[in-house]
């Protein structure tokens, strides 16, 4: 499946979103990310536990009609949306990219899926992506969370990557992406993104990178 705007909209349950006036420039959806690196008993990377908080516009759309009284939606009300979003993101690798030298890393089926709405009316999606086979971070393992077409902007919160449980001597460094220069920024029009070829990986240029190393 190509990374088109319509495909990404479907993956994020945005099929019904309609904005008056000219189309918004990329990105269209903004997500603040917190991720925990899950270690197993042997100190191997067993998965990633995600906490994604969506922007005000998407949050308002997603919860439209759930509670006319204006109160935050309950976890039970949001569960179908949570499961739909995570399930649909399978075709996109859950926007989770993990790499390690000499290892083929495959993601398993997400677990512990839930969603909540806070008093500020922002929704937060939680889910864990296990690895089919635990990976070693003996050299360096990298984690990025991004949308290849930049329809969705994922930004790690400050100290947004951590270990779940004792790190057993593992180190973690979060590096920020290199800023685009003025010429590159001027190219970021809707026409530019519409013209991206299938398999384009533009979003990786604008994504933070977590570097994990274990003894």
Please give the mean pLDDT across all residues of the chain: 82
Locus of tokens 């026409």:
191
Between 72 and 17, the more confident residue is 72
Question: 0.75 cut: is pTM over it?
Answer: yes
Least reliable range by pLDDT among 17-26, 74-83, 100-109, 125-134 = 17-26
Between 25 and 33, the more confident residue is 33
Neighbours of 128 (CB within 10 A): 17
Q: Which residues contact 159 (CB under 8 A, 6 or more apart)?
A: 174
Domain boundaries, the chain: 5-12+26-213
Q: What is the pLDDT of residue 181?
A: 61
Interval 130-169: pLDDT, tens: 999 999 988 899 999 998 888 888 999 988 999 997 777 8
Q: What is the pLDDT of residue 180?
A: 64
Mean pLDDT on 161-185 = 81
CA angle 200, 7, 175 (to 5 degrees): 45
Q: What is the pLDDT of residue 51?
A: 98
């Amino acid at each position: 499946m190509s990374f088109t705007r319509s495909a990404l909209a479907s993956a994020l349950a945005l099929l019904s979103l309609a904005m008056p006036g000219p189309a918004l420039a990329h990105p269209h959806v903004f997500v603040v990310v917190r991720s925990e690196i899950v270690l197993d008993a042997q100190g191997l990377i067993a998965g990633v536990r995600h906490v994604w908080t969506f922007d005000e516009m998407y949050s308002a759309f997603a919860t439209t009609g759930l509670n006319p009284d204006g109160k935050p939606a309950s976890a039970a009300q949001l569960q179908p949306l949570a499961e739909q979003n995570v399930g649909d993101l399978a075709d996109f690798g859950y926007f989770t990219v993990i790499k390690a030298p000499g290892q083929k890393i495959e993601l398993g089926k997400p677990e512990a899926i839930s969603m909540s709405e806070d008093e500020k009316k922002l929704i937060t999606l939680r889910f864990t992506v296990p690895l089919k086979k635990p990976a070693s971070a003996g050299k360096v393992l990298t984690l990025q969370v991004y949308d290849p077409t930049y329809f969705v902007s994922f930004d790690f919160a400050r100290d947004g990557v951590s270990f779940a449980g004792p790190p057993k001597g593992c180190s973690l460094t979060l590096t920020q992406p290199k800023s685009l220069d003025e010429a590159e920024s001027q190219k970021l029009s809707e026409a530019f993104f519409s013209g991206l070829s299938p398999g384009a990986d533009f979003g990786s240029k604008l994504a933070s990178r977590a570097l994990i190393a274990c003894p």
